[in-house]
Amino acid sequence: MRVHTGEKHYECEICSKKFTDINHLNTHKRVHSGEKHYECEICSKKFTDINHLNTHKRVHSGEKHYECEICSKKFTDINHLNTHKRVHSGEKHYECEICSKKFNDISHLNTHKRVHSGEKHYECEICSKKFNDISHLNTHKRVHTG
């Protein structure tokens, strides 16, 4: 009945996120523990939740069930579509606490933060030069290929 009323009585003791169902809480807890019980049989990527695995499988199948009504771009996941819609609306919910630059996607903010931290996660396998963004590495690789 709580699902219909919206009552969320089950709270994660780590991050305080609340859930309507104990099973949803237990699945959520795997985010903190790192447990990943569900593995993609195609690429071996592991997931904490069966629904995340099923969504991931669409990457391999090419299924894109969610379409932007503005530009007709299609997505494998409803969350990716919702994030994409911010491109059209101009919404930027994520702000850098260091320089106040705003982003429409949390992953873009996280990539941006590396500018301030100096973190460089992406390394060229040919010359070992490191980059803070995968796109910068890919651009750099052209130096070696011509």
Q: Say if residues 68 and 81 touch (Cβ distance below 8 Å).
A: yes
Q: How confident is the model at residue 1 (pLDDT cuts 50, 70, 90)?
A: very low
Candidate from 4-8, 90-94, 105-109 with smallest mean pLDDT: 4-8
Q: Report the topology of domain 22-63.
A: Double Stranded RNA Binding Domain (3.30.160)
Query: Could you tell me the maximum CA-CA distance found in the chain, to the nearest angstrom?
Result: 63
Confidence of residue 90 (pLDDT cuts 50, 70, 90): confident
Output the six-digit token pair for 67.
Answer: 């379409």
Q: How confident is the model over 49-71, as a mean pLDDT?
A: 91
Mean pLDDT, rounded, for 14-19: 88
pLDDT at 89 over 60: yes
pTM equals: 0.49
Interatomic CA distance for residues 105 and 101, integer angstroms = 12
pLDDT digits (tens, 9 = 90+) for 107-126: 889 889 988 998 888 899 99
